[in-house]
Amino acid sequence: MARNNKILVPEARAELDQLKARVMKEKGYRVNPEKPDHVKYEVAEEQGIPLKEGYNGQLTSEQAGKIGGPIGGNMVKEMIKMAQEQMKK
């Protein structure tokens, strides 16, 4: 599956993947550290959304949001916590 999301610093991709793996594992999801992006299938299954590898054009925006929202939202919360800790130092 192609990655359509763009990050501002492409060199940060590996670190973002590690962050995703750590955050989602802390939330109780099974995460393969080699393929942290696959946690979306577990989130989709939990939500009852028929996500499969490859093209998923049949999904509604609402369904896609129910998958990506918890992942991205938890990552943002963790990044804010990390920034606040850095500011304390």
pLDDT at 75 over 70: yes
Buried residues in 28-38 as b, exposed as e (16+ CB within 10 A): ebebeeeebee
User: What is the arithmetic mean of pLDDT over 65-70?
Assistant: 93
pLDDT at 1 over 50: no
Which pTM value belongs to this model? 0.77
Q: Which residue range forms the structural domain that includes residue 20?
A: 10-88
Task: Give me the number of domains the chain comprises.
Answer: 1
pLDDT at 62 over 90: yes
Determine, yes or no, domain membership for 25: yes
pLDDT at 84 over 60: yes
Determine, yes or no, domain membership for 43: yes
DSSP 51-84: --SS--TTS-HHHHHHHHHHHHHHHHHHHHHHHH
